[in-house]
Structure 1
Amino acid sequence: MEIRPLSTHTGAEVLGVDLARPVADADRETMYRAFVERSVLVVRDQALRPQQLARAIELFGTILAQHNSRFAIPDCPQIHYVSNQDRYPDGRRYIPGEGWHTDHSNAARPPKATALHAVQLPDEGGDTQYANMAAAYEALPTAMKERIAPLIGIHVYQSSHSARKLMGLSDTDKERVPNAALHPLVRTHPENGARSIYINPIRIEGVLGLDHEEALPLLDDLLEHATAERFQYRHAWKSGDLVMWDNRCLLHKANGDYDMAQTRYLYRVMLQGDVPR
């Protein structure tokens, strides 16, 4: 097994391991350490069925039930699919993952990690971009760090301020999916101690104790700063890639810049996280 960095601050690729076979404890620990240190782990050349993917991801934590069960794989509901072939009820194409966000932040314990496994890809395009929120936090002016240190974000399933609209939930899903959660705008990583900006444009409704006239410009400024190109790693997908990223210190977004006559289809799974602090 070999692990190589993919950028100066984010991303590491893993070569020479087959997650469909038993993985030695030492290799698992090495991969997980790279994940914590580099935030995005790219395991190349995998060919995993849903049940195999579930077993592989359980090397790194406990699988979390995802919010919208309409995307669940019938014979392995822990695994969902991500596809450009779904449409909203009004007929518009649904591009999952559009717009900067972190997954399921409306939960009291948002997922620590999300993993995607490429099954079918377009000939070109469809990259996933990641913004390193720890690096972005470190680059903030001291005055801004002090301003946001005590602030708490209000996270809901679908922010009324978001330009991107999520796919609707079934009545059953609405009963089990958390309605709202309060999380700090600056969270400390429980495993490496790094502090990072923790916002989510798709789910954050406001900031506790601030009116929208103050909160929304602040959130916009933080997002503009944090998603600057110097904090980004852009992943160009290859067939067989399994990519796992750290929701505790990253924003990510998918790009719909490819031929929609071609199918983009990936498996998705999440790992349980902890309460942001």
Structure 2
Amino acid sequence: MQTQSIIPSGRACGAEVRGVDLAALDAATVSTLQQAVLEHLVVVVRGRPLADPQLLALGRAFGEIEPPGMSVIGKPYIDAYPEILVISNLMSDGQPLGNLGAGEAVWHTDMSYRSRPCTIAILHALEVPPAGGNTYFANQYLAYDTLPAALKARLDGRMLIHDETYNSAGQLRKGFAAVTDPREAPGAQHRVFRTHPQTGRKALYLGRRRNAYIIGLSLTESEQLLDQLWAHASRPELVWGHEWRTGDTLIWDNRCVIHRRDAFDPQARRMMHRVQIRGEIPR
């Protein structure tokens, strides 16, 4: 049995977990992963291929699996495993085999448009392009900690609309109509600051920029303030980036990070499978 170790990235978040077998989970491995995610917010296990049942078992080790958001084709991509969301640019007979395509996926929090956003997200790489497609994470504990006191006071208790119509690649979700006025966007309303139920720390909680609206402000004031908050939340000193290899698995705490993805050559192949864990109402 390999010795388990955790290698911090040296950045504001992120660590590599070594010596664990995600395909043969035991209590010690699950405990190591859970504690590493709480401490480092996002962890990677390198080069350990997982079959879909093994990915689902890994997800269930963290809690109840949350069904994915609506795909761009209006149904699950994998009929045998509807809990798995496919992230891919590949096509078959003119139909996408996964969400997001090959373009950039902008900074966002997963599924914040739901009243109970997912807590943990797990993304596994089946195929990766030779360049591009890297994923970046920004620590939102530190984003909150470093906000000016006057801005914290101004936003304390404020609610934010989290739009459901578009995904992070700008694709309109199946069954939704385009929205041009953020005040009319469908989606959950959450506090701008949320408190992590396990660590007790506060984090900036913005969801995604498009069609967001801070309730109670004028639209112009909300737009200006959100631009300011997003610039603050994604500062380079808060960010760690992951360059993918086949078989990598990323696990992150969706309550206290935002993430984005680089674009890549649309002629290259990228295939990722993801599960996410059912969450609580943000407080």
TM-score, normalised by the number of residues in structure 1: 0.88
Q: 1:129 aligns with which of 131, 136, 144?
A: 136
Which residue pairs with 1:194 in the alignment? 201
Q: Which piece of structure 1 moves more, 208-217 or 66-75? A: 66-75
Query: Which residue in 1 is equivalent to 2:181?
Result: none
> 1:192 Cα shift?
0.5
1:94 maps to: 101
Q: Match of 1:141?
A: 148
**Which residue in 2 is equivalent to 1:154?**
161
Task: Give the Cα separation in 1 of the matches to 2:13 and 2:225.
Answer: 25
Q: Tell me, what secondary structure is at the counterpart of 1:28?
A: helix
What one-letter code is carried by the residue in structure 2 that aligns with 1:58?
R
Whichever residue aligns with residue 266 of structure 1, its letter is M
Q: What is aligned with 1:12?
A: 15
Please tell me the residue identity of whatever aligns with 1:165.
Answer: G
Q: 1:95 to 1:164 in 2, by over 3 A?
A: same
Matched, 1:82 2:87: yes
Structure 1 residue matching 2:44: 3-state secondary structure: strand
What is the one-letter code of the residue matched to 1:2? Answer: S
1:166 equivalent among 158, 171, 180:
171
The answer to whether residue 275 in structure 2 is matched with residue 269 in structure 1 is yes
* Displacement after TM superposition at 1:119 (Å): 0.2
**Amino acid in structure 1 at the alignment position of 2:17:** V
Query: Alignment partner of 2:54: what SS?
Result: helix
2:46 maps to 44
Which of the residues 198, 216, 223 maps onto 1:209?
216
After TM superposition, the structure 1 = structure 2 runs for residues 24-63 of structure 1, keeping only pairs within 5 Å, are 24-63=26-65
2: CA distance, partners of 1:80 / 1:48: 15
- In 1, the alpha carbon distance for the partners of 2:153 and 2:45 equals 38
| SS, match of residue 268 in structure 1 | strand
- CA–CA distance in structure 1, aligned partners of residues 255 and 168 of structure 2: 23
SS at match of 2:86: strand
Query: Which structure 1 segments of 5+ residues have no match?
Result: 172-177
Contact 2:110 2:118 in 1 (8 A): yes
Point out 4+ residue stretches in structure 1 off by more than 4 angstroms: 86-89
Q: Which runs of 5+ in 2 are unaligned?
A: 177-184
Shift of 1:25: 1.3
* SS in structure 2 at match of 1:168: coil
- C-alpha distance after superposition, 1:175-200 (max 9, x if no partner): xxx94211000001111111111002
DSSP 3-state at the match of 1:156: coil
Identity of aligned residues (%): 35
8 Å CA contact 1:164, 1:202 repeated in 2: no
Aligned 8 A contact 2:165 2:172 in 1: no
What residue number does 1:223 align with?
A: 230
Check the 8 A contact 2:162/2:208 in 1, yes or no. no
CA pair 50-170 structure 1, distance change in 2 beyond 3 A: farther
1:254-265 equivalence runs, <5 A: 254-256=261-263, 258-265=264-271
* 1:157–1:224 distance in 2 versus 1, CA, 3 Å: same
User: Once the two structures are superposed, what CA deviation does each residue of 1:215-263 show, in whole Å capped at 9, x if it has no partner?
Assistant: 111011000011010000111112211001111111111111x322110
Query: How far apart are the structure 1 equivalents of 2:171 and 2:253?
Result: 21
Give aligned pairs, total: 264
Q: CA deviation at 1:47?
A: 1.1
CA contact (8 A) 1:73 1:79 kept: yes
Deviations 1:90-136 (CA, angstroms, capped at 9, x unpaired)? xxx83477111111111110001111100001112211011111111
Cα gap change, 1:96/1:106 in structure 2, threshold over 3 Å: closer, same or farther? farther
Q: Does structure 2 retain, via aligned residues, the 8 Å contact 1:14–1:41?
A: yes
Q: 1:64 — aligned with what?
A: 66
